[in-house]
Amino acid sequence: MALHPFGKIPVLEVEGSAIFETTAILRYVDEHFSGTVRLQPADTRDRARMAQWVSAACAYIYPNAFTKVFVQQALLPKFGMETDTALVQEGLETTKTHLETLSQALESGTLAGNGRLTLADIVCASILDPLRHLESGQGLLNSYSRVSKWLTSLNTRDSFSVTAMPG
């Protein structure tokens, strides 16, 4: 609570100041540290697409793919809690619709930036990747070859694979 006013994670403490929320932290890291690759496109339209997908991931994909499917099927049982199968089914159906839209957006290989990796790819993939560890999620992801190829490609990156949520 001392670092995040809503008592959540993640939080990044920088020189005595807290930065909270994933998107703000990602943008800070991308802009603050020098490197050869920037994760925010310079082109305003591509940057808007990036912001659009980050927002969609947080507002729509996360509550369904992660909370209604992954949490229900993978996390609750680990703590001896019962899975709400109706909630899982609702999450899978909604995630299917999200994956259809995501698949269309991945025509260039990434979500924004004309084939270049952006924060949109990192946020969306981080939310969807845990589904690979569930039979229902793996089947759903495999139904969308662009999405599956995209996730596989991201998992070949050390920066992604070493921070991915274990099954």
Per-residue pLDDT of the chain (167 residues; tens, 9 = 90+): 888 999 988 899 999 999 999 889 999 999 998 777 889 999 999 999 999 999 999 999 999 999 999 999 999 999 999 999 999 999 999 999 999 999 999 999 999 977 899 999 999 999 999 999 999 999 999 999 999 999 999 999 888 878 766 65
Helix 22-32 and helix 119-128, axial crossing angle in degrees, nearest 10: 140
* CA proximity to 148, closest of 95, 108, 99: 99
- Rounded to whole angstroms, how far apart are CA atoms 55 and 166? 24
* Structural domains of the chain in order of their starting residue, each with its CATH number: 1-36 (no CATH), 44-161 (1.20.1050.10)
